């Protein structure tokens, strides 16, 4: 068994003034493109009137085995998420992403 096959976890965050107020772990995909497609296809399901950020994290089996993380911010004008660079307030977040 190859234990280096990653999963791509989708987590949404409610953030106000640089503070995380809540989060929802939605699930995962075995392919990054499928995880990103899920966000683009159903943005309102993830947003739920407050979750203005999403992180897709590459995770490997085991403890603290994170890979890359991609960050997205909700754009209310287009009612969808845009890929962004990692926001500074996520730098000290205790969670999956590194």
The mean pLDDT of the chain is 86
Cα–Cα separations (whole angstroms), residue 22 to 51, 53, 64, 73, 90: 8, 11, 22, 15, 13
Q: State the pLDDT confidence band at 47, using cuts at 50, 70 and 90.
A: confident
**Of 1-5, 32-36, 42-46, which has the strongest mean pLDDT?**
32-36
The pTM score is: 0.86
Average pLDDT over residues 23-30: 92
pLDDT at 53: 94
Task: Single out the residue of 69, 75, 89 nearest to residue 44, CA to CA.
Answer: 75
| Cβ(5)–Cβ(30) below 8 Å | yes
pLDDT at 2: 54
| Cβ(70)–Cβ(34) below 8 Å | no
């Amino acid at each position: 068994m190859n234990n280096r096959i990653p999963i791509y976890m989708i987590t949404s965050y409610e953030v106000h003034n640089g503070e995380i107020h809540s989060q929802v772990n939605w699930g995962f995909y075995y392919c990054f493109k499928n995880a990103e497609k899920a966000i683009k296809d159903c943005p309102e399901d993830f947003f739920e009137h407050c979750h203005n950020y999403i992180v897709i994290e590459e995770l490997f089996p085991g403890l603290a085995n994170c890979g890359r993380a991609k960050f997205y911010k909700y754009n209310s004008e287009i009612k969808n998420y845009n890929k962004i660079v990692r926001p500074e307030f996520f730098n000290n977040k205790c969670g999956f992403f590194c």
